[in-house]
Amino acid sequence: MQSRNFRLQRVGDINWLEKNYKFQKISFSLDELIVVDATRGTKDIEKFSAVVSRLVGEVFIPVAAGGGIRKIEDAELLFNSGADKVILNSPLYTNPTLATEIINRYGSQSLVASVDYKVIAGTPVVFINDGAEPLSISMADYLLYLEQLGVGEIVFNSVDKDGTGFGYDIENIEKYAKSVNMPFIIMGGAGNERHLKEGLSIDGVSAVATANLFNFIGNGLPNARNYMLEHGSNLARWE
């Protein structure tokens, strides 16, 4: 799916994805692949795990997968399907015991916390349930809560910037990237290689994520990586 402000537009199914993306080649432009089940409402974890299993057969980089994990068996299914990490969003707040179970069984490095937020009246507000339900806890307190929970990394995702291609939410990224002692990944808004470089240059940002360059811009990913390397970004060289 292509997402804009969390409104979804269909791009293609797994068969289309395998036909149109040469993952063995495109993997050299990436350090990690994030795969999320964005289905609204009830998600089918078994169906999603089957998709993940098909994808990882062509991908030789770490894969983080999430969406619909509601019990430890769901996480186990994704790990057994080839995921290297699992992603939690809503259960981090509604069922933190699940996060603790995953961490105790697989280690903190195996759990990624996805934080979706919208800026309302100048203040970033955390949302769960596919961006539908706001939380009353402040962003600073929520990030501290996640750190104390023991998650391995955080994906900081702007709903307002999502899919726009206008660039990351630099103001709030600069404000919160150094507020936690764990990898801080930014998502939402990247439309070109300059946005990626700008995001990665922010103190405290560990990684930048994009869907736009992945979905629609031909050689956008390899070109972006080359641009970032040429301009001094701290990325691995795969020659």
| Backbone region of residue 11 per phi and psi (left: phi > 0; alpha: psi in -120 to 50; beta: other values) | alpha
Confidence of residue 1 (pLDDT cuts 50, 70, 90): low
So what's the pLDDT on residue 198? 96
pLDDT digits (tens, 9 = 90+) for 171-215: 999 999 999 999 999 999 998 899 999 999 999 999 999 886 665
DSSP 81-138: TT-SEEEESHHHHH-HHHHHHHHHHH-GGGEEEEEEEEEETTEEEEEETTTTEE-SS-
For residue 172, report the phi and psi dihedrals to the nearest 5 degrees.
Answer: -80, -30
8 pLDDT band (50/70/90 cuts)? low
Q: 86 pLDDT exceeds 90?
A: yes
Averaged pLDDT score across all residues of the chain? 90
Report the pLDDT value the prediction gives residue 189, as an integer from 0 to 100.
92
Is residue 234 very low, low, confident or very high in pLDDT (cuts 50, 70, 90)? confident
Residues 6+ positions from 206 with CB-CB distance below 8 Å = 153, 183, 184, 185
Q: Mind listing the domains of the chain with CATH numbers? A: 2-230 (3.20.20.70)
Q: Which residues are catalytic?
A: 116
Q: 104-147, pLDDT tens digit by residue? A: 999 999 999 999 999 999 999 999 998 999 999 999 999 999 99
pLDDT score, position 126: 98
